Amino acid sequence: MTTISDWGRYPINDTEMIHSCTVDAARRATVQADQAVARGNGRANGDAAVGVRQTIEMAHLNRMRAFDPRTGQLTVEAGLLLSSLITTFLPRGFFPYVVPGTSFITVGGAIAAHVHGKNHHCEGGFGQYVENIVGSAHGGNDWGIS
């Protein structure tokens, strides 16, 4: 058992950590786990990333898989930190439409929480810029989020 909490240090739970180093392992864990919750960088408020019995650790699924410089479309894995995305693509002239108050969250967490930035009234939430989520427990391939 591992003791974890959210960013605000509450709640604090003992949970079985399931380490997923591949999309396939995360898929199997999602199907087989007992009321598991996926966890990226642990920056969620409340208990969103704290599993009561089991927590699927997604931080190793942090790769950028494909990028189209013509359209700006990027395919990533759910554990990619928003800060890594910004560091890589800002010098190339690309920046996400929506960035919350911290860039130390994962792309998967940003989608799950439908985060928004200071420009919410103009650009909406993060999920509005997600074209596809694949590689889930219910099918798809191993490419991730685009």
User: Using CB atoms within 10 A of its CB, is residue 7 exposed (0-12), middle (13-18) or buried (19+)?
Assistant: middle
CA distance 43 to 120: 20
Q: Quick one: pLDDT band at residue 139, thresholds 50, 70, 90? A: very low
What pTM was estimated for this model as a whole?
A: 0.85
pLDDT tens per residue across span 32-85? 888 888 999 988 766 688 888 999 999 999 999 999 999 999 999 999 999 999
CA distance 98 to 90: 14
Confidence (pLDDT) at 117: 87
- Alpha carbon of residue 47 to chain centroid: 15
CA distance 48 to 118: 22
SS3 of 81-133: the string is: EHHHHHHHHHHHCCCCCCCCCCCCCEHHHHHHCCCECCCHHHHCEHHHHCCCE
State the residue for tokens 């996926």.
38
